[in-house]
Amino acid sequence: MQLSQNRDEFVTENTGEVQRSSRLLFAITHDLAQPLHAARLFSSALEGRISDPKQQQMVDNIHASLEIAEQMLTEISLLGKLDAQSLPVEIEQVKVQEVIFDVISGYSPQVQSQDNQIKYMPTKAVVQTDKVMLRRVLQRLVSNSLRFTKNGKILIGCRRFGDKLLLQVWDNGIGMDCSDEKDIFEEFIRLRNHDLYDQRCFGLGLAIVKRICSQIGAEISFRSWSGNGSVFSVHLPCQGR
């Protein structure tokens, strides 16, 4: 009984600490977002008013850097909310193909700019999950593949595995070293393969994926082959084909 009570007190104390840290993180990111947004407005106001090409390039660089900073704050804020479990989770029947369509449409410009191809296998599968959360997971998995794939292919597909549906993202990019595998879902981890490094990578995407999967009752797994690509699999409760 005493051990059980001590364990419950420990869990309660640590849960409270996580929530306090998450609230502090949210407050910091919120306060930082306002001046960053204002700075972006100022830099946007300069566009078209400068005739010197070098000065215009400097303004463009400032604008791009501010945009990256805003995106990073958004990811940090989302991570904090997930840790505090303050995001609503609405479990419903979700048609997987609708989520795939949404994600592919959003990444079409980036896919084309990198001379990549992104394809999907048609599916009628229905899963019991949160649609918004599942979209966030798939977005980050596709984004991760694009970071390490140039002039290559990305394939999104589903397959049944017992009472689970495996939603998979395959790519034939540069893959990763086995030494990276144990840390891949940790915060602020950037893989050692720098060939295709994207400055917009904050090392948060896969950490967010892991936390979302935990909250919606899914699991995430992966396999990678250095120089030959990777596959990430989201294990979801399946309701149909």
Distances (CA, A) of 107 to 48, 77, 91, 102, 138: 28, 22, 26, 9, 11
Domain 92-240 has CATH 3.30.565.10: yes
Angstrom distance (rounded) from CA 149 to CA 46: 35
* In the chain, domain spans: 2-84, 92-240
Topology at the third CATH level for domain 2-84: Helix Hairpins (1.10.287)
Q: What is the pTM of this model?
A: 0.74
Tens of pLDDT, residues 160-219: 988 899 999 999 999 887 666 667 887 766 655 544 545 455 578 899 999 999 999 999
Tokens of 198: 């994207």
Fold agreement between 2-84 and 92-240: no
Contacts of 164 (CB under 8 A, 6+ apart): 235, 236, 237, 238
| Residue bearing tokens 């840390």 | 183
The proportion of the chain whose per-residue pLDDT surpasses 90, expressed as a percent, equals: 39
Tokens of 45: 């106001």
Q: Is the pLDDT of residue 35 over 70?
A: yes
SS3 229: strand
Q: Is the pLDDT of residue 45 over 70?
A: yes
Angstrom distance (rounded) from CA 226 to CA 9: 45
Tens of pLDDT, residues 64-113: 777 777 777 777 877 888 888 888 999 999 999 999 999 999 999 889 88
